[in-house]
Every structure is written in C-alpha cells, then in structure tokens.
A = this chain, B = another copy of it.
C-alpha cells in the first residue's frame, strides 16, 4: 500500500523526530501544524475526557500515517502518545495543502491513498461482525487470497494478524490448526494456501 512518504517525498520538506516511550507527539488542543507518519515504533491516539478517562481512537504502527484529518482542523482533537521508542516523520500541513492546491496529480494520489484506506478499514470492520473465530479467520483469508495461486501471503507474525482480526492469539492458532486438520488450508512459513472454500 502506498504511504504519505511515497506521495510527498522530495516535494514536501519533512522532518524526522525521535521519541521515547510516553512522549507526546502532540496534545489535545495544540494548534494543528503537521500530519505524520510512523517510520518505526508505535503511537496511540487517545482522547481525554472529563475526569481524566481516556478513550483510544487509533493505534498507528510502523508505516502508517496519522492525524490526516488535522489538515482541516485548527487544533488536534486528541493526544498522541508514543508507546515504544519511535521515529516519526513530520509533514507541515501548510505545505501539504499547498501541494494539493497546486499539483492536481498529487491531490489525486492523495485521494487514492485515502480511498484505499477507507476500503481497507470498512472491510476490517465488516470482518469484526463475524462472531465465530473460525469463520472470521476464513473470511479474512478469502478476502486476501490471490485468486491465481489460492495463496495468502502473511508478511507479519501470525500473532499480529490475530490482533488485527480481533482475536486472542491462542484462539487464532487453535482455529488455524483446526482448519489445517480439516484439510481446508495448508500452512507454510509465511503463507497459507486455501485448499477448499467450503467450511463444513
């Protein structure tokens, strides 16, 4: 998937900053001056409410961008807290907006990037509506499989995939083993092959 980096690299002057665990990249109410991309590490966006309760809005991992919506807001509406030592790329929002106004191709690519994210997020959300772990995993595989090879490449540790699917990793491994035992999938190191697409 394309990233902000691919889009604005060499056009927008960026700044890389390093953060330690617990640092704030920005805080709720700060004037919004940048949008961001996580190069390494992890950042959590949370909104503090009355009496100090917080509500998590987003977890941005390496590669992901965040606070894009602040392009159109004078202030940030949440806090961004660094959870592990991280490198963050800063894109000045005025510059980004300038490019959007002056370079239609870049505007289009940015729209493409966001539209693709919307689609991905909708799909992930829809998967969460599936209660059964087995079924959810299987549908995920069907959505991700390459039609030619019947193979799903899993570039991340299985454990992380479990989190993305909203499952305890134990459950994930268990169901994966069950699916394999039933001859529905075949596992290898970094990929899963779908043998049959009926679950029964």
Cβ of A142: which chain B residues have Cβ within 8 Å of it?
47, 49, 53, 55
Q: Does A102 make an interface contact (CB < 8 A)? A: yes
Copy count, this protein chain: 2
Shortest Cβ distance from A126 into chain B, in angstroms? 5
Taking CB as reference atom, which chain B residue is nearest A66? B122
Contact A111–B112 (Cβ < 8 Å): no
Contact B114–A145 (Cβ < 8 Å): no
Shortest Cβ distance from A95 into chain B, in angstroms? 14
When A and B form their complex, which 4 residue pairs have the shortest distance between CB atoms, in order from nearest? A114-B114, A121-B121, A107-B107, A101-B104
Q: Does A17 make an interface contact (CB < 8 A)? A: no
Q: Does A57 make an interface contact (CB < 8 A)? A: yes
Cβ of A117: which chain B residues have Cβ within 8 Å of it?
114, 118
Q: Which of A116-151 contact B (CB under 8 A)?
A: 116-119, 121-126, 128-129, 139, 142-143, 145, 147, 150
Taking CB as reference atom, which chain B residue is nearest A194? B50
Question: A49-B145, A50-B197, A69-B119 provided; 14 other pairs, C-beta below 8 A?
Answer: A50-B147, A50-B194, A53-B197, A55-B142, A56-B126, A58-B119, A68-B119, A69-B112, A71-B115, A104-B107, A107-B107, A111-B114, A114-B115, A118-B121
Shortest Cβ distance from A179 into chain B, in angstroms? 14
Cβ of A194: which chain B residues have Cβ within 8 Å of it?
50
Contact B125–A51 (Cβ < 8 Å): no
Cβ of A57: which chain B residues have Cβ within 8 Å of it?
119, 122-123, 126, 143
* Complex: A115 Cα to B72 Cα, angstroms: 9
Cβ of A56: which chain B residues have Cβ within 8 Å of it?
126, 129, 139
Contact B68–A115 (Cβ < 8 Å): yes
